[in-house]
């Protein structure tokens, strides 16, 4: 899967003509991908994960002259779909985070290997022209700080945090959810390594981080932090 911030989106121009896209996951993110592809004039199908049979999906993909898959399922629902894409030689776009266990990540990379060079993980900020320009002209710095925050209660209408994936110990929490800035730090300072992680939780949601600060450092280079929280722009009440 592409990991270089130097990739040019223009590389893909003209390559999607005649492709049938399958968006797997009918939640808010999946529907957004579906709407975007439709607005671009692509042939696209939106398929919910619940009740979807992999054999039926394989038949649908097999009937397409040229296919691509968007995986917008929950974090724990990745391996089966990526393995299917790898086996069929079909490129995919998968939402971040890719996994929340190292062993799962290793299995995913092995399964994706046949199509990894044509597939992408959804860290889209790395393709922003401003970030690409910074990567092309490496930053000389002695320190850095990146920060992202949301009042999690205001994300969507008729939405409760307690009912969402973000409130689950596995696959949830702010560290995995608001992780674009961690990826930006990796793009700008690729030699930086993890020094520490400090988190604040909430009594009502054990083992779920609401505010986290990641400390990174590079030998002979900058030391910096990435801070993310579910509490901005105002602190949550009880």
Q: What is the pTM of this model?
A: 0.82
**Residue whose C-alpha is closest to residue 231's, from 122, 147, 145, 144:** 147
Average pLDDT over residues 184-205: 94
What is residue 236's predicted lDDT score, i.e. its pLDDT? Answer: 47
What is residue 65's predicted lDDT score, i.e. its pLDDT? Answer: 92
What is residue 159's predicted lDDT score, i.e. its pLDDT? Answer: 78
**Residue whose C-alpha is closest to residue 153's, from 143, 163, 138:** 163
The single-letter DSSP state of residue 74 is: -
pLDDT in tens, 100-115: 888 999 999 999 999 9
pLDDT tier, 235 (very low <50, low <70, confident <90, very high otherwise): low
Average pLDDT over residues 191-218: 95
> How far apart (Å, rounded) are the C-alpha atoms in residues 72 and 24?
6
pLDDT in tens, 4-52: 333 333 344 445 558 999 999 998 899 999 999 999 999 999 999 999 9
Q: Is the pLDDT of residue 238 over 90?
A: no
Three-state secondary structure readout of 149-170? ECCHHHCCCCCCHHHCHHHCCC
């Amino acid at each position: 899967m592409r990991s270089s911030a130097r990739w040019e989106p223009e590389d893909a121009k003209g390559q999607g003509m005649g492709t049938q896209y399958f968006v797997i996951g009918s939640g808010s993110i999946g529907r957004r991908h579906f709407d975007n592809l439709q607005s671009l004039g692509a042939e696209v199908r939106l398929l919910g994960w619940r009740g979807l049979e992999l054999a039926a999906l394989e038949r649908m993909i097999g009937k397409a002259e040229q296919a691509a898959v968007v995986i917008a399922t929950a974090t724990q629902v990745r391996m089966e779909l990526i393995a299917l894409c790898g086996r069929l030689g079909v490129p995919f776009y998968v939402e971040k985070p890719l996994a929340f266990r190292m062993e799962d990540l290793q299995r995913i990379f092995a399964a994706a290997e046949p199509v990894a060079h044509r597939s992408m993980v959804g860290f889209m900020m790395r393709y922003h022209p401003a970030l690409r320009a910074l990567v092309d002209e490496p930053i000389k710095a002695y320190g850095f700080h990146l920060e992202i925050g949301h009042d999690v209660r205001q994300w969507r209408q008729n939405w409760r945090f307690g009912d969402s994936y973000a409130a689950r110990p596995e696959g949830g929490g702010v560290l995995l959810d608001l992780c674009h800035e961690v990826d930006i730090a990796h793009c700008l300072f690729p030699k930086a390594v993890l020094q520490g992680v400090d988190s604040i939780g909430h009594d009502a949601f054990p083992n779920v981080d609401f505010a986290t600060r990641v400390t990174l450092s590079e030998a002979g280079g900058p030391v910096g932090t990435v801070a993310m929280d579910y509490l901005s722009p105002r602190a949550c009440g009880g």
